[in-house]
Every structure is written in structure tokens, then in C-alpha cells.
Structure 1
Amino acid sequence: MKKLVPDPPRQRRRDPELDRANAHLLQSLKNTRHRPFGLRDAQGHALFAVQPGVNAEDALMHVALLLKCAEEVSDEITERASGIERGLIWSMVHSVEMARAVVEALLDGARPRD
């Protein structure tokens, strides 16, 4: 669904204490471990897996990108839905937007300020 009104500009005022806490959290996260996911074959082997050794910031940046893609796809689906389906999709869109905002806030807190 195309927005008629643009998003307001991002606020520049930040809470330094929250920034420090976010940066500490991101630094305290360990690298990823191997984690298979998705459908499995007859022997129980997964086709896909999260690779081990990816640092937390890179992993969170990828999660933010995946959430953005999910947001865009669900926006397109919402235009074609009706009734209860539209409400369910909007609920999903809102959840995805919130999840992406949390991930991006963590990433923003870990980056040096301009």
C-alpha cells in the first residue's frame, strides 16, 4: 500500500544512556552459531542454515533487511486483500515494523554518532 503522507523526519535527539546500553548489549553478544532451519529431507537434514561466526552487528543488519522485505511484501498483499484478511495482514505488518524498529535502534545505538 502506498502512503499518501510521507514519514516524519527522524528525530536527532538521543538518550546517551540508552545509546551506551545498546552499544554494550551489542558488544556483549557473541558470534552466531550454526543453526539449521527450514524444510528437511527424508533423513532430517535441513537445506539451509545460519553460518557460524557471523558477528552480532552484521547478523542484526541482515535481520533488519529481512524485516524490511517482509514489510514491503505484506504492504503489496494488503492492497489485494479484503475483510478479515486485510486486518490480519495489517496486524502482521505492524508486528514486523515494530521488530525492525527494535533491531535498527540496537544498531543505531552501537554506531558512533555523527
Structure 2
Amino acid sequence: MNKIVPDPPLDTFQTSPHYCTRLFTINPGIPARDALMQVSLLLKSAELNADEISAHLSGLEAEQLWSVIHGMEMARGLGDSLLAD
């Protein structure tokens, strides 16, 4: 008799031996330039979302989010400068 395995909770990733599919992977053979371009796009998307959220915050929360946004901008700037070479 086959045992029926229930769907994992939404917050479960790679914690059960029955679910070995990885959500994100590092693939060998991907050129560094292509990887940096994807990192830049991910950071830009995160910045845009954080900017949108910051409009609804005030006080300490707004300052903390500004710090996160600034860190993302600096990281993206570093990556983009590497791409420019």
C-alpha cells in the first residue's frame, strides 16, 4: 500500500526528505556577468518595493527601512560597476 504524503506547509523548504526540489539553485557554468545582471535586477526590484512600503511608514520604522534601501542601492551600485568594466 502506498503511503499518501500530505502537501508540506507553505513555509517548508527542504526540511522533509519527501520534498527535495529546490526553490532556487546555483547552476554551474553560468557566466559571472549574467549572474551579476540577475543580482542587479533582484536588488532593483527590492528597492522599488521597499520605496513603495516606506511611504506608509513613519518614525523609527521609516528610518530602518531607509537604511535597508540604502544598503540595497550600495550593493546594486557595486554590482553595476563591475558590469560596466
Normalising by structure 1, we get a TM-score of 0.58
| SS of residue in 1 equivalent to 2:42 | helix
How many angstroms does 1:47 deviate by? 2.9
User: CA–CA distance in 2 between the matches of 1:58 and 1:49?
Assistant: 15
Matches within 5 A, 1:18-57: 39-43=13-17, 45=20, 46-57=22-33
Question: Structure 1 runs of 4+ off > 4 angstroms?
Answer: none
Normalising by structure 2, we get a TM-score of 0.76
Percent of residue pairs bearing the same amino acid type: 43
User: CA–CA distance in 2 between the matches of 1:57 and 1:69?
Assistant: 19
User: Which consecutive residues of structure 1, in runs of 5 or more, have no partner in the other structure?
Assistant: 1-37, 110-114
User: CA–CA distance in 2 between the matches of 1:61 and 1:98?
Assistant: 15
Number of aligned positions between the proteins:
72
User: Which consecutive residues of structure 2, in runs of 5 or more, have no partner in the other structure?
Assistant: 1-11
How many angstroms does 1:39 deviate by? 2.9
How many angstroms does 1:50 deviate by? 2.1
Aligned residue in 1 for 2:43: 67
Aligned residue in 2 for 1:84: 60
User: CA–CA distance in 1 between the matches of 2:53 and 2:47?
Assistant: 10
| SS of residue in 2 equivalent to 1:88 | helix
Q: Deviations over 1:10-50 (max 9, x none)?
A: xxxxxxxxxxxxxxxxxxxxxxxxxxxx9324127333212
| Larger fraction in strand | 1
| SS of residue in 1 equivalent to 2:24 | strand
How many angstroms does 1:83 deviate by? 1.6
